[in-house]
Structure 1
Amino acid sequence: MTTLDLPGAKSDLDNYRTERSFLGADHQRNERRTWIVAAICAVTLAAQVTGGLVFHSMALTASGLHMGAHVAALLTAAGAYALARRYAVSRRFAFGTGKFGDLAGFANAMVLGVTAILIAVESVQRLRTPERVDYGSALPLAVAGLAVTLVCVWLLRPRGPAQDLNISAAHLHLSADAFAGGLAIAGLAAGQRFGWAWADPLAGLAAAALVAQFALSLIRRTAANLLDMNPSAELTAEVRTRLEAQGERVSDLHLWRLGPGHHAAVAVVVADHPLPAAAYHARLSGLEGLSHVTVEVRGADNVLCQS
């Protein structure tokens, strides 16, 4: 059985580039952006929570609580980038540290789901027992919070073809907060204009439903990578086609994600006239996104030729 690391999507971390380093091409840039946005969100969190408590606005408090979840999520994401970079050359990780981001994304998705539950519970309580809201003070603060969130969404927008679920999770958090902020503004404006005391907590309840939907979507995506589900039917089919190019048969094939832009494949090739394993590696060379391959070659009588 032979293995080979193929030239797929390459990392820009020259100091950490080894045969087992499967970090994303934008790892350093994404880490830096995440730290910057975490600092911005921390300041916004303090302003929104303080305003919500002072002005008795559930929608504003909900937006602040959601921003608090974002601060925790962003710190988790930034920490995952830092740890993945630090241990990129550690031999304790057989297939590198590219999945640190997936683990952080899954944790953040769970936090997002808990946040949705907390917002929903508090909103229901406010619907049952409305509180007086200082709309004139709460509304400008909600607008300012939304403006800050939109800036952060822009700063963390995913770039490049490689799907980095760590920064995608952070971006999704902020996108959900932007929608929640918009609902908060709508609820406050309706309460101020028409005197609807229920509009503000109803906006918080709608925001909770939206956040929950985002959380479930992120849980599905990150869990798929952590459980090594097949990430691409198209790439799997292309690997099989190339390995069977001269009448061989692929009796076993596994494809999984190692990190952003990196995939690994393990294949068993059966042939009447087996070629050296290096020949099958050569067929897969240059296949975009395929960074590590293990090939076992067997004869037509299922006798192991190379291992």
Structure 2
Amino acid sequence: MHHEHLADWQHDHRFSPVNEQGEKRTLYVLILTAVTMIVEITAGSIYGSMALLADGWHMATHVAAFFITIFAYRYARKHADDPAYTFGTGKVNVLGGFASAIALAVVALVMLIESLERIVHPQDIRFNEAIAVAVLGLLVNVISALLLRDGHSHDHGHDHGHDDDPHHGTHLHDHNLTAAYFHVLADALTSLLAIVALVSGKFLGWHWLDPVMGIVGAAIITRWSYGLLKQTGPILLDASIDKGGRQAIVDAIENDADNRISDIHVWKVGASHYAAIIAIVTSTPRSAEHYKALLRNFDRLSHVTVEINTCSSSKHAPTIGHQHTGC
């Protein structure tokens, strides 16, 4: 491929996670979810169960989210070397995760409204049929979760502490697959809550539990959605790394000779890749490669641009890091 023939002085702009297994398994989950959706909507219509109809249409939103996931993978791969994208397509998968998080939030809102409506206007449910289809839905969701878990690399959307640390290059985030995984968990959660509510309604007469479980499910899904938005939003907005990571880069440069950093920008160009633009002031200028070598331990700095400015020792240079009374 094109990026395999780059010269030493050329930059590679492939910052998208290569996750063929995740993409393939997401396709399997899409098929499973679509089939289950059709079964639930059909069963809900035949048995007159609003609960099944609601869950079926709820799954339809997740089918749309899985389409977003697969589209993001394929679009990022197809345009990986397209010069129209300044830093490659590393953020396409992040954008897919962000879009799916919005879809999750919409699902939660619809669940909340529907649940509140059922509290005001209780609906008759044919429990036996509804329970059977809800169990089928839960089984499909468990299988789907197992399919996605391995490709998911155990990244369940939590902050592992290294997300803003450019030193660590081994822990890769795939927000696109994280979003798909959360959609499966949301489906499994709503199916499980539906089963608990339906069984309680059938044997204990607790009809009120069905809408209450819907509200609980909406709250949990909202929390997942917020977590994804909190992760993906700053990346899409080119947010800088935290002060600790930024200072570590500054120290690595300024601890060498009389180098001082007058300007620095470090931001994510993908889920796990950083770009940096660094302006250095020094009275003993060296080659750009010398300064890049000082940052060799920062594995996740995938694209570094260095500007070198020569100064007289009699002048004071503005600095980002250490106070300096020389150059």
TM-score range, shorter chain: 0.7 to 0.9
Q: Once the two structures are superposed, what CA deviation does each residue of 1:231-275 show, in whole Å capped at 9, x if it has no partner?
A: 455543332222122142222221111123321111112223222
Contact 1:58 1:123 in 2 (8 A): no
More moved, 237-246 vs 135-144: 237-246
Task: Tell me the secondary structure at the aligned position of residue 85 of structure 2.
Answer: coil
| 1:296 CA drift (Å) | 1.0
Q: Distance in 1 between matches of 2:303 and 2:76?
A: 18
1:20 equivalent in alignment to 2:25: no
Q: Distance in 1 between matches of 2:136 and 2:288?
A: 61
In structure 1, give the amino acid aligned to 2:265.
H
Contact 2:51 2:130 in 1 (8 A): no
Aligned length: 289
Number of the residue aligned with 1:95? 87
Number of the residue aligned with 2:323? none
| 1:142 CA drift (Å) | 1.0
Superposition pairs of residues 41-190 of structure 1, within 5 angstroms = 41-157=33-149, 158-159=152-153, 161-190=171-200
Q: Distance in 2 between matches of 1:85 and 1:142?
A: 37
Q: Which has the higher contact order (CA 8 A, sep 6+)?
A: 1
Contact 1:48 1:64 in 2 (8 A): yes
More moved, 115-124 vs 185-194: 115-124
1:254 equivalent in alignment to 2:265: yes
Number of the residue aligned with 2:156? none
In structure 1, give the amino acid aligned to 2:42.
T
Question: Which of 291, 298, 304 is matched with 2:309 structurally?
Answer: 298
Question: Which of 208, 213, 217 is matched with 1:198 structurally?
Answer: 208
More moved, 202-211 vs 86-95: 202-211
Contact 2:259 2:281 in 1 (8 A): yes
| 1:119 CA drift (Å) | 1.7
Change (3 A) 1:197 1:179: same
TM-score (norm. length: structure 1): 0.86
Aligned identity (percent) is 35
Q: Give me the CA root mean square deviation.
A: 2.2
Gaps of 5+ in 1: 1-13
Q: Distance in 2 between matches of 1:81 and 1:141?
A: 32
Number of the residue aligned with 1:236? 246
Task: Tell me the secondary structure at the aligned position of residue 302 of structure 2.
Answer: strand
In structure 1, give the amino acid aligned to 2:247.
A
More moved, 275-284 vs 72-81: 275-284
Q: Distance in 1 between matches of 2:141 and 2:133?
A: 12
Q: Distance in 2 between matches of 1:265 and 1:154?
A: 38
More moved, 50-59 vs 133-142: 50-59
| 1:76 CA drift (Å) | 0.6
Contact 1:250 1:270 in 2 (8 A): yes
In structure 2, give the amino acid aligned to 1:23.
S
Q: Once the two structures are superposed, what CA deviation does each residue of 1:100-121 show, in whole Å capped at 9, x if it has no partner?
A: 1111111111121112111221
Q: Distance in 2 between matches of 1:248 and 1:295?
A: 12
Q: Distance in 2 between matches of 1:237 and 1:164?
A: 26
Contact 1:257 1:264 in 2 (8 A): yes
Change (3 A) 1:112 1:299: same
| 1:191 CA drift (Å) | 0.4
Change (3 A) 1:230 1:58: farther
TM-score (norm. length: structure 2): 0.81
Task: Tell me the secondary structure at the aligned position of residue 66 of structure 2.
Answer: helix
Q: Once the two structures are superposed, what CA deviation does each residue of 1:59-105 show, in whole Å capped at 9, x if it has no partner?
A: 44443233211110110110011111111111100100011111111
Change (3 A) 1:56 1:234: farther
